[in-house]
Structure 1
Amino acid sequence: MRLLLADNDTTKGDRVAALGRVVVVIPTYDEAANLAWIVGRMRRAQPAVDVLVVDDNSPDGTGAIADQLAAADPQVHVLHRAAKGGLGAAYVAGFGWALAAGYDVVGEMDADGSHQPEQLDRLLEALHSADLVIGSRWVPGGSVVNWPRRREALSRGGNLYVRLLLGIDVRDATAGYRVFRREALEKIDLGSVRSTGYVFQTDLVTRCLRAGMIVREVPIEFIERVRGESKMSGQVALESLKRITQWGVRERWEQARARSRHRA
């Protein structure tokens, strides 16, 4: 894919403006050490982009920090949820808020700094010719920083498993740095999404592809968090693979039934 990177900040702003109103959803749970830092970086790097923090009633006071940021900046918004309900559920709630508020582009990114706001322009630029753009670690030019080999092998292997089982041509289907056109989110029926954990990312890209939408990947540098604790664990990864296996087996069964009916 050829990316037309902007020459200066004015051109970047014009290209973002051409996409319409943009908001990036940042889900949080116990991210008090990171939130002000990452929101500040986003606002400096992408002044035309709004931010929505979706906090799951963090016991460390993240929600209160989000409220303070919103009070000081009209382009920062906060959605409080009653309890920790999973990454996917937080994103669905945030996406619903963004669509109701009339945004044309809805993005997603982590609060821990692993997704760099300074690289968001790569995703937004590619969205001019796509419905969903993924910031990918595993396409040429993508990379990870400070990951042990075991975790890299797990991510690469998991994405290979997704490609083979679900039959999708996406190198980083589990990535969480993305931008959607509002039409894409409306078309995939967010109300029917039941994925609450990290498998949510694979679920949504698969839905977009099945609906005939254009999905593109652009390379990013993914940096492992330096503050706070990661929410990813071996148990979470295994649960995601279990769900993906169930989807793949069900889809293969349905395809076999369809072929059988066609022959009959």
Structure 2
Amino acid sequence: MESMPGRWMARQHQAGRRLCLILDGKHAAREPLLTVRHLPQYCCLYAETAVAELASTGPIILLLDQLGEPALVELLQHPQTNWGWLCSLPGDDLQGLARHWRERLLVGPAGSQAVYRIHDNRTLARALAHLSIDDWPVFLGPLISVYYWHEDRWCEGENPAPGEYPAPVPAPWLNTPNPQAQAILHANILRYLLTEHSERLAALVEFQDPRIWLAQVLEQARAWQWRGPQQLEFLVVRRLEEATQTSGIRWQPMQEEAPGDHFERVLKQWRRLREKV
């Protein structure tokens, strides 16, 4: 196996390290990889957690012994499918590795927790790019080296101090910016407008591209530091009304006016105008 990941795997093997694969459990390679392994050679990441009911389709961690096994070779030939990533351990303690990630798996307050998608190579890549090197050990734990696909190329990362670490609160990797967050916000707002304000949105379409219009409105929200859901909804809906009918709202902030005061003043102004209609 002379590919770039093959050379990385060979180096890890020569250094006496155990190779692991973190795999998206819904990938087609799951079954052929599990078929040739006994239970000590793999574990389901979601097992023994609050999302254990998803374990059968959730991510898995596997030890790699045969570097040329067909299912693995197929994965390495198609990294753009974002199936997961490779790593190396000092031994074969999969349970210790699973325990490390399970302690970092659920994020958010009780009752509204979300699953941290550590099995996704894009999540791993963004976290490592965001974290300082001092935070790598507490994030990667027992892993010695990681190897992953990111932005059309293979990347390698070396943990400066592998070991066991408690999960920090707050976890620094949860502040990693999501490059798709703005696109998701755009899509959600347009979906909301289509559902709740379809007539006005249809009127806007007649003379302006809604996507361009929304980008301009959200840029205004950014400049004014209106980040809250109520502030965004108010600005988008009122601006949509303004785009399709006349309005007397004076939007611009006053000199040295705080973002919160600016929003409250504009909101009161709109309420007064509505009372006159």
Coarse TM-score class (shorter-chain normalised) = under 0.3
TM-score normalised according to structure 1 size = 0.27
Larger RCO: 1 or 2 (CA < 8 Å, sep 6+): 1
TM-score normalised according to structure 2 size = 0.26
